[in-house]
A and B are shown apart, each in its own frame.
Chain A
Amino acid sequence: MENRSMPTRKELLAIALEDALNEMGEPTLEIVTNRLFQQYRCNLVDCLDHPDYLANVLKETFGYAQRAVVEKIKKNLGEFGSERPVEEFLKVIAK
């Protein structure tokens, strides 16, 4: 059961991330996904396992404004954001 729910959680998180970045503009999503791949060899779906990678890329790109992206992700996730692994993920990227 756990194995089936994990990919869904990751996918939902990736959608929330994509939406938050797309709101700024398509190239914004592009640079984040490109940097994730170039620096850490991972993609948005993998972010749940490596939130620190995403945190670094967002900070590097947006500076203090990365907090706004995190807020938007939280909003997109809704109640799903209170589930334990997602909540931990949000804590790490909000640092």
Chain B
Amino acid sequence: MVANFAGKSFATTTTDLLFLPVSGGLVVLSIIIAIRFKARGNFGSAYLFFAGFAGCWFCAELVWMSTELYNQLNFLRPVNDYLYLSGYPFLLLFARYYVKSVEAVITQKMLSYAFLATVVFFIPTFYTAYLYNPDATLQQIIWAGIYPILDAILLFPTVLGMILFFKGNVGLLWSLMFIAILLNVVADSGFFYLNVNRSYYSGNPIDILYLWSYVLFSFGIYSHIKVFKKQKMKSFGNLDELK
């Protein structure tokens, strides 16, 4: 935000350089938790997919930064979108596998809440954005609109996760994920407007929302690392103590 007062190009460079460590931090944290679970069990598979998501988005940020800093790498820009988009199936699979262990207790009511949350965020976002930009080409709408759509789809398992793990130690991840995805929905909607109006530039204040969503994802995963950290089992000492 402050960088924007110093000019557009300064804001662009600052933002590009900020995205890399923030998304890189998320990759490191997701690798730590994936190693902890060794890809075993439903949670293990879930964390492996989360690491895949974090990896895809980190590569996307890397490519984005490279194309912003070096004009001759502009031909890589389309790759960027594919990298961001490829992160979404991983995130969906993460949510799917995480919830899989506890799906036996999912009720119709929970499914209704999750569906409602998805619809509440999806319809106004897409409709309003389309209404404000009736001159946009179909291609522009598809490319800019695909992100809010995917975010809205992601809200479904995230809301389920929030309800299921409510009050538990593992619930913080889901609360933070929910907020992070909400931020992504808002940021993607903003990006949708700006992109269609051709007024988006890297370093736009809207990028702060993307940065915060990385931070919240990271805190969520960090909370899980803390919950599932390897604890040294204290010696039982006198076994009679256990009887």
Contact = CB atoms under 8 A, between A and B. Distances in A.
Interface of A: 22-28, 30-31, 33-34, 37-38, 41-43, 46, 59-69, 71-72
A59 B228 contact: no
Interface string B217-243: 000000000011011011010000110
B171 A68 contact: no
A65 to B, nearest CB: 4
Nearest to A67: B105
B22 interface: no
A26 B40 contact: yes
Interface of B: 36-38, 40-44, 101-105, 163-171, 227-228, 230-231, 233-234, 236, 241-242
A37 B42 contact: no
Contact of B166 (A42, A63, A68): A63
Given A26-B37, A34-B231, A63-B170, 4 more contacts: A61-B169, A64-B165, A64-B168, A65-B101
Given A27-B228, A37-B233, A72 B104 contact: yes
Nearest to B161: A65
A7 to B, nearest CB: 12
Contact of A23 (B42, B166, B169, B231): B42
A63 B160 CA distance: 13
B21 to A, nearest CB: 27
Give the 10 A-B residue pairs with the shortest CB-CB distance, closest first: A63-B168, A25-B41, A68-B102, A25-B43, A65-B102, A63-B167, A27-B228, A67-B105, A65-B164, A62-B168
B42 A68 contact: no
A28 B168 contact: no
Contacts of A31: 227-228, 231
Nearest to A69: B102
A61 B40 contact: no
B38 A26 contact: yes
A27 B168 contact: no
Contact of B230 (A23, A30, A64, A66): A30
B41 A63 contact: no
- Which of A23, A63, A65 has the most CB atoms of chain B within a 10 A radius of its CB? A65
A43 B229 CA distance: 19
B221 to A, nearest CB: 14
